[in-house]
Amino acid sequence: MGLNRLSCCICLFFLFLASSVNGDDPYRFFTWNVTYGDIYPLGVRQQGILINGQFPGPQIECVTNDNLIISVFNSLNEPFLISWNGLQQRRNSWQDGVFGTSCPIPPGKNFTYVLQAKDQIGSFFYFPSLAFHKAAGGFGGIKIFSRPRIPVPFPDPAGDYTILVGDWFKNNHSDLKAILDNGHDLPFADGLLINGRGGNGYTFNVDQGKTYRFRISNVGLTTSINFRIQGHKLKLVEVEGSHTLQNTYSSLDIHLGQSYSVLVTAGQPGQDYYIVVSTRFTSPVLTTTAILHYSNSAGRVSGPPPGGPTTQIDWSLNQARSIRWNLTASGPRPNPQGSYHYGLVNTTRTMKLVNNANIVNGKQRYAVNAVSFIPADTPLKLADYYKIPGVFNLGSISDNHPGGGGCYLQTAVMAADFRAYVEIVFENWMNTVQSWHIDGYSFFVVGMDGGQWSPASRKGYNLRDTVARCTTQVYPQSWTAIYMALDNVGMWNIRSENWDRQYQGQQFYLRVYSPANSWRDEYPIPKNALLCGRAAGRHTRPL
């Protein structure tokens, strides 16, 4: 066989291989330029992070299994990373966009993320994951629509709105980072934002008699929020990629990092109404508003915004327990969500993750099972791939809290086996609500209650129709238990969504390992992967 013919055969083989990975799924291309710019979200000039000049950043809209090619140009004067809260990155933790998996994009350079919304639907968001940049903006919404042939359990809404809410500080992100670097806690937030604006700064237009979908994400740093609309009910239909039973609520608690979809019918007299967001479990209570504007409005909003719950934990706990999976609705595939009987699978391992706080070397630190995470000089995924010694040790964090009140600094990585089915218990010993996120996965929230967890707590688990999601709250002096199938090989971040505590050590990585070393289980390192730290100067792959 001649050399040219051999080369053609090789090219055809890899073209076939590439097509077998992504099939005929469409490609969507995005080009983003990340810059600093002046923003005034609370009436004070600040240095914000803009994407294509926008704060918040541009929205990503796609359909199940679409391939997303996102070229990010870092025009900041410092390294930058974007992560994708809720996108599971199936077999592809290389694209997760946290420092444990990816080298930052250097100033003045570009990196192209190659993602796929594989077998997912729902509402999510992206955010900057490095150097406390999240406090400066750089976040935006992600909508993943169902494929046309997959039935959705409600009629098409007349409109589909994204609402990004969260607490905000008047200090620049660099000043907030310095507070944490000096070993102190952040002050109380200065206010709340709705889509980057303060009180009555944003308007959502509706026609009387029509129904609209609102996708609400808490992109804040430190506080849970309550969401409500004056004179209107909220019909919950989706939580982080899961269709839910369509319960109706007057207001919804949305904890840090969480995303909810509700249907709202504009069935009131034609005028303007308050959309209200307020903090939960805080004193004082922060509140901000936007406007729901009827196209036939006869008048502006009037009277005070409607009040909501403030510090009541039982109210929030009961609401959380009422959120259930819609067993008969299809998810991203044409089969009912309830066809996977998660409660009938035997767990193979229990991990009890306890959050605690302590002073280490004169500075405030936060920990999981007494380990306060410190970043290594090389992304852990690269160190694992190139077998670079001394970057991390498997087993540097245990399955249970060792006892006592102390903590120590470590680059914490927990080993786990591909295809194991695990029970994870988050136990909160503190007096503030916590929020936990697991990259790469959706999990079943089987139980939550006050006090400390014990094996007897399993008697109260919901093993039939609890919701599957990627972020869960843990109430003060309480526990939350989840079931999770470890079906996604990679290096995955488990973190507090209380962003100051994540920054101060309340996170670790779960290395889900398959010995097969096969593309069936995990994609190879991207040929455009950035290499830094002790991986600098190495090669990715020739293809």
- The reported pLDDT for the residue numbered 61 is 98
Quote the tokens at residue 486: 């470890």
Residue 159 Cα distances to 206, 214, 295, 529, angstroms: 8, 8, 13, 38
Task: Evaluate whether 81 touches 99 at the Cβ level (below 8 Å).
Answer: yes
The answer to which of 227-236, 444-453, 533-542 has the lowest mean pLDDT is 533-542
Tell me the C-alpha distance between 229 and 194, whole Å. Answer: 13
- The reported pLDDT for the residue numbered 19 is 40
Q: Name every residue whose Cβ is closer than 8 Å to that of residue 14 and which is 6 or more positions away in sequence.
A: 543
CA contacts within 13 A on the Cβ side of 47:
12
- pLDDT tens digits for 40-66? 999 999 999 999 999 999 999 999 999
Task: Evaluate whether 474 touches 436 at the Cβ level (below 8 Å).
Answer: yes
Quote the tokens at residue 100: 């444990």
CA contacts within 13 A on the Cβ side of 354:
20
- pLDDT tens digits for 120-161? 999 999 999 999 999 999 999 999 999 999 999 999 999 999
Strands 203-206 and 242-243, bridge-based pairing: unpaired
- The reported pLDDT for the residue numbered 527 is 95
Q: Name every residue whose Cβ is closer than 8 Å to that of residue 181 and which is 6 or more positions away in sequence.
A: none
In the predicted structure, residue 4 carries a pLDDT above the cut 50: no
Q: Coil, helix or strand for 321? A: helix
Chain Cα centroid distance, residue 245: 22
CA contacts within 13 A on the Cβ side of 432:
17
- pLDDT tens digits for 391-440? 999 989 999 999 888 899 999 999 999 999 999 999 999 999 999 999 99
Task: Evaluate whether 292 touches 262 at the Cβ level (below 8 Å).
Answer: no
Average pLDDT for the chain: 94
Quote the tokens at residue 204: 């959502």
Provide the residue type at 364 as one letter.
Answer: Q
Provide the residue type at 154 as one letter.
Answer: F
In the predicted structure, residue 16 carries a pLDDT above the cut 60: no
Q: What is the pTM of this model?
A: 0.95
Alpha helices in 368-498 (DSSP H): 380-386
**382 — phi, psi (to 5°)?**
-70, -40
Provide the residue type at 460 as one letter.
Answer: G
DSSP 87: -
Tell me the C-alpha distance between 358 and 368, whole Å. Answer: 11
Structural Rg of the chain based on CA atoms: 23
Quote the tokens at residue 318: 């009961």
- pLDDT tens digits for 463-506? 999 999 999 999 999 999 999 999 999 999 999 999 999 999 99
- pLDDT tens digits for 207-217? 999 999 999 99
- pLDDT tens digits for 69-122? 999 999 999 999 999 999 999 999 999 999 999 999 999 999 999 999 999 999
CA contacts within 13 A on the Cβ side of 86:
29
Residue 51 Cα distances to 97, 125, 406, 432, angstroms: 16, 14, 41, 33
Q: What is the dihedral of CA 370, 375, 376, 381, to 10 degrees?
A: 100
Provide the residue type at 386 as one letter.
Answer: Y
- The reported pLDDT for the residue numbered 405 is 83
Tell me the C-alpha distance between 120 and 499, whole Å. Answer: 26
- The reported pLDDT for the residue numbered 262 is 98
Sign of CA pseudo-dihedral 366, 367, 373, 374: positive
Tell me the C-alpha distance between 346 and 364, whole Å. Answer: 39
- The reported pLDDT for the residue numbered 252 is 98
Count other Cβ atoms within 10 Å, centred on residue 71: 14
Strands 287-294 and 203-206, bridge-based pairing: parallel
- pLDDT tens digits for 322-360? 999 999 999 999 999 999 999 999 999 999 999 999 999
- The reported pLDDT for the residue numbered 23 is 53
Quote the tokens at residue 422: 């695990």
Cα–Cα–Cα angle for 356, 436, 182, rounded to 5 degrees: 50
Tell me the C-alpha distance between 376 and 533, whole Å. Answer: 9
Can you spell out the DSSP letters for 350-363? EEEEEEEEEEETTE
Tell me the C-alpha distance between 132 and 63, whole Å. Answer: 31
Sheet of 272-279: strand order equals 203-206, 287-294, 272-279, 225-229, 251-254
DSSP 343: G
Q: Name every residue whose Cβ is closer than 8 Å to that of residue 307 and which is 6 or more positions away in sequence.
A: none
Comparing C-alpha atoms, which of 276, 277, 243 is closest to residue 262? Answer: 243
In the predicted structure, residue 8 carries a pLDDT above the cut 80: no
Task: Evaluate whether 457 touches 412 at the Cβ level (below 8 Å).
Answer: no
Q: Name every residue whose Cβ is closer than 8 Å to that of residue 10 and which is 6 or more positions away in sequence.
A: none
In the predicted structure, residue 11 carries a pLDDT above the cut 50: no
Residue 464 Cα distances to 345, 415, 484, angstroms: 11, 29, 14
- The reported pLDDT for the residue numbered 24 is 78
What length is written for the chain? 543
Mean pLDDT of the 160-166 span? 98
Comparing C-alpha atoms, which of 216, 206, 207 is closest to residue 237? Answer: 216
